Structure 1
């Protein structure tokens, strides 16, 4: 049978499911990167503390570690499952694709994460209570386990942009999919960022130190760490861009705002200025200043950066073979995966999708707008919100156009043929294109639905030779009005 297993789409009407996932993920990145950077910092401080007989460094590890238990490990352990839940309902086949490729890699990451969580408790509560050699071994194990979690996740994130090696398409195997040029470029730039954010967040703890001499010493060293890592991260950025696939380069050139590079440079300079301030005036560092700097990097640096990374891989969600709307777009013999585009070309979404509403499989003038809305949710809502707010509101892309025929022509000419490089190729039957066009037109003017139904009904009566005047008035479906609200 000509069926494809598209799951029912989770659609969040306020801001769109994509932004829900993005907001949770961005906050989680802040927590996780701070945790990894702090783990390596703790390892270094433990070594220096025992080597130079500086118990105050172990005391700082305890203070920063207790802060991390809440900031990174508790809140991070909440947002982590939040990512799993939101991505599973928002992109179930995308998550399935990643699990099928990297289930053992993820299992490995979870093992290291368990070691990491146990390690941070041991670093906090065993400082000064075990011998030097034991504590250093705990510190090294903690640092390596934490770094291993980042390595595993970055490889999977890189696969979402592009498989590591072209041979993966024909041979499969997670090693071919995992290790690529982008993996190491992205890992390097994230290492730089994690030290930057570790230094910023560490300032919150340093600000509370009572010993002014030790506070000055530690604040200045965190400032140097922050400056060096921020500058190195920016220096690595061109390398990262050079490892992006050709498709991502096209998206970056055509869809990323022109002010993005200037904005990133501005955030970098502001971060360096902040660290210069803490380097020159360490005793003026307060928790509120460090907290403000943390939020600034999160909002002005991390969120735009993660948004751009997610946007650059469009129209795909995983491995350059699965579209963001969950449709499999390419054959992958190495994974026994076949493209679903021929099926959609043949019978369309309305007859191919297993979970399609039963009353919408046959399109009529009376249900065309509802079918169009279902098509928009299924094929478009992973990247566009259907309301005026949220991620890439779809109505803006049509400039208030209410001409159903013109919108239909665009859908059949651009989307159905794949001529828009950063959009999925969305095969649409003629009636599907008309239904989707009607719904998109109704976003600008809901009354277009009633006119469409009247015109289609009148034309049908004329075709049948009906002579009675048409008196029935049709209103837009209630759910469409609700969608506009």
Structure 2
């Protein structure tokens, strides 16, 4: 532990990050990129067809893009920084050292995006006549800068799964333009616009009463749906072919579903989107409300699944082949086994295991090597030790810990001396009791 420990005991540290990240992805992808693209397309079509009603729809959309991106989008963006910095400081510290200038450029791009959005929103009435084309071009620039933000962040995120030659060269360019960068960027681009279609179809069906106007809006949505469905399939297959085989084999596991349930649910979701696309293109005036609601729910489920898979298939690493999910550098594994993990933990209160401090040492080892994914008694029973280890004795737990990375390849190996392993087993055996040892120790 090179940094102070922060724990969310009931939710779990990973769940806290996941909740914030999913909300942020919906806004940053679905709204900032996707709805902006649909909005600018609708405005362009309105200019070409002299359709004032369609232009007003685009205008109303710009208000919501401004509100959502500068409030929820900005707050969750900062929230990701705060949560990951306190929960996964080793990972964020490494990424900052690698991608400092990329993140700086992304910040400049984001500020530019906000300025363009403000200009776009507040000039609807000022730029009339021939200037409407200029206004639309500002919108196009806004959409491009929104996409550039995602293009930069994708380079950072994709490097966590496929750092490529970076582990050998430590070159920024090898890390950024990693093996999954392009397929990941393409997939995220198409997914963003498809998500926007799902987000908009439901409110358009509810609030736009004019059937002719509904048809005009759904023509725009249908155009992009046809493009994005094909794009998602192609880029998704490209992405799957680019990830490590070990990560590919963990996709179904990461969702918590069985193979059969995973296939059925995802095929049903895909089928629903295909039906939705055909219906929107062929009979936009008669698009069923229930189908719009179903697509909205399906898109939320796909986003949650995508984020869960993206985060989980990296295991046992958080930065592939470089840093384990608990923040331990792979290169230090043998050092810690020989000299001890606690000795090299800056913020551990215990540096050496003794007979008197076994429980406290075990808790420090739990915090350093287990807490990033597990809880003592959290809502996710599969990751809560009090449920998983109920009835286990210390010897059984110690034996299991010693080989867990072999029996469960997604688990990082335990790194530490034999005394430390036994101390962790002692602590984990104690958490199954009525009064968890963590509570007793924290009261001292």
Return the TM-score normalized by structure 2.
0.88
Question: By how many angstroms is 1:307 displaced?
Answer: 0.3
Q: How does 1:10-159 map to 2 (within 5 A)?
A: 10-34=6-30, 35-130=32-127, 131-159=131-159
- Structure 2: gaps spanning 5 or more residues: none
Count of matched residue positions in the alignment of Structure 1 and Structure 2: 435
- Structure 1: gaps spanning 5 or more residues: 330-338, 448-475
Question: By how many angstroms is 1:45 displaced?
Answer: 3.0
Q: 1:6 to 1:225 in 2, by over 3 A?
A: same
Decide which moves more: 313-322 or 255-264: 255-264
Q: 1:238 to 1:133 in 2, by over 3 A?
A: closer
Question: In 2, are the aligned partners of 1:347 and 1:429 still within 8 Å (CA)?
Answer: yes
Q: What residue in structure 1 maps to residue 215 of structure 2? A: 216
- Does residue 1:182 correspond to 2:180, yes or no? yes
Decide which moves more: 189-198 or 17-26: 189-198
| Alignment partners' CA distance in 2, 1:206 and 1:253 | 35
Q: What residue in structure 2 maps to residue 354 of structure 1? A: 346
Q: What residue in structure 1 maps to residue 393 of structure 2? A: 403
The CA RMSD measured in Å over matched residues stands at 2.9
Question: In 1, are the aligned partners of 2:54 and 2:217 still within 8 Å (CA)?
Answer: no
| Alignment partners' CA distance in 2, 1:216 and 1:96 | 50
Equivalent position SS for 1:317: strand
Question: In 2, are the aligned partners of 1:216 and 1:282 still within 8 Å (CA)?
Answer: yes
Q: What residue in structure 2 maps to residue 437 of structure 1? A: 425
Q: What residue in structure 2 maps to residue 318 of structure 1? A: 319
CA deviations over 1:363-394 (Å, ceiling 9, x no partner)? 34443223222211210111222214238414
| Alignment partners' CA distance in 1, 2:214 and 2:345 | 62
- Does residue 1:371 correspond to 2:361, yes or no? yes
CA deviations over 1:336-361 (Å, ceiling 9, x no partner)? xxx3223312321221111101xx33
Q: 1:282 to 1:183 in 2, by over 3 A?
A: same
Question: By how many angstroms is 1:103 displaced?
Answer: 1.1
Q: How does 1:224-303 map to 2 (within 5 A)?
A: 224-226=223-225, 228-252=227-251, 257=257, 258=259, 259-276=261-278, 278=280, 282-283=284-285, 290=292, 293-298=295-300, 300-303=301-304
| Alignment partners' CA distance in 1, 2:280 and 2:241 | 34
Q: What residue in structure 2 maps to residue 465 of structure 1? A: none
Question: By how many angstroms is 1:187 displaced?
Answer: 1.2
Return the TM-score normalized by structure 1.
0.81
Equivalent position SS for 2:120: helix
Q: What residue in structure 2 maps to residue 162 of structure 1? A: 162
| Alignment partners' CA distance in 2, 1:138 and 1:388 | 48
Q: Which has the larger radius of gyration?
A: 1
| Alignment partners' CA distance in 2, 1:240 and 1:114 | 30
Q: 1:354 to 1:178 in 2, by over 3 A?
A: same
Question: In 2, are the aligned partners of 1:18 and 1:391 still within 8 Å (CA)?
Answer: no
Question: By how many angstroms is 1:79 displaced?
Answer: 0.8
